[in-house]
Amino acid sequence: MESCTDWAVQAVQQNGTASEFVAKILTSGMKRKLLTLVMINDGSRVLLGYKKRGFGAGYYNGFGGKVEPGETVREAAQRELVEEACISAQDLQEAGVLVFAFDDQPQPWEVHVFAASSYVGEPAETDEMRPVWFAHEEVPFDSMWADDPIWYPYLLRQEHFRGVFAFQQTTKLVWNTMV
């Protein structure tokens, strides 16, 4: 894996930050952890999964996870969607990239977000996720990661986005910028 994305490092340097650890983590040349996130959007609703276990348990989110060795990011996105929601996207499009720096995780995370409007299969509950449709105006941000309300508007407008987010103690969002 490469060191952290240049645009994220530049964004932090140009905008400054209240959180010293963000600059330190992103400019240290530390390897990043690659993850995926797939958002199914039928034009008026999004399909979210209620995370039943593991990282982010208790939150609604898109479907995704770590990119495994030997996989492309796109292959990982398709695999995670099948594993977590039992569906396969037919029109997977790159929607944006999110970089997360944590004060309590050893590496920055780079999450590649994809959007799709059509799929094969029927969304079904798995060990990890319970899928639920939400109207665009009823997305349950109170039960989601704190960064989500910042980039969802771009996703719903189908505008490509890149964001950098700093979290303390895993879930407390302390700084962000959209690039």
When binding is defined by CB under 6 A, the residue of 4, 46, 49, 64 that contacts ligand LR5KHM72 is 64
For 138, half-sphere exposure in the C-beta direction (CA atoms, 13 angstrom radius) is 8
Judged by CB under 6 A, the number of residues near ligand LR5KHM72 is 15
Binder to ligand LR5KHM72 among 111, 115, 116, 164 (CB under 6 A)?
A: 111
Picking from 86, 87, 81, 42, the residue whose alpha carbon sits closest to that of residue 62 is: 81
Q: Which residue, 119 or 147, is less far from ligand LR5KHM72 as judged by CB? A: 147
100 backbone dihedrals φ, ψ, rounded to 5°: -115, 130
Q: What angle do CA 21, 27, 29 make, to 5 degrees?
A: 120
**Contact residue for ligand LR5KHM72 among 54, 69, 70, 106 (CB under 6 A):** 54
Q: Under the criterion CB under 6 A, does residue 147 sit at the interface with ligand LR5KHM72?
A: yes
55: contact with ligand LR5KHM72 by CB under 6 A: yes
User: In 42-171, at which residue ranges do the beta strands (DSSP E only) sit?
Assistant: 45-51, 60-61, 88-89, 93-102, 109-116, 119-120, 129-135, 161-168
CA proximity to 153, closest of 139, 167, 164, 166: 139
* Using rule CB under 6 A, residue 74 touches ligand LR5KHM72: no
Q: Closest CB to ligand LR5KHM72 among 53 and 118?
A: 53
64 vs 131, beta carbon nearer ligand LR5KHM72 = 64
d(CA 18, CA 55): 26
Binding residues for ligand LR5KHM72, rule: CB under 6 A, are: 35-37, 54-56, 61, 64-66, 100, 111, 145, 147-148
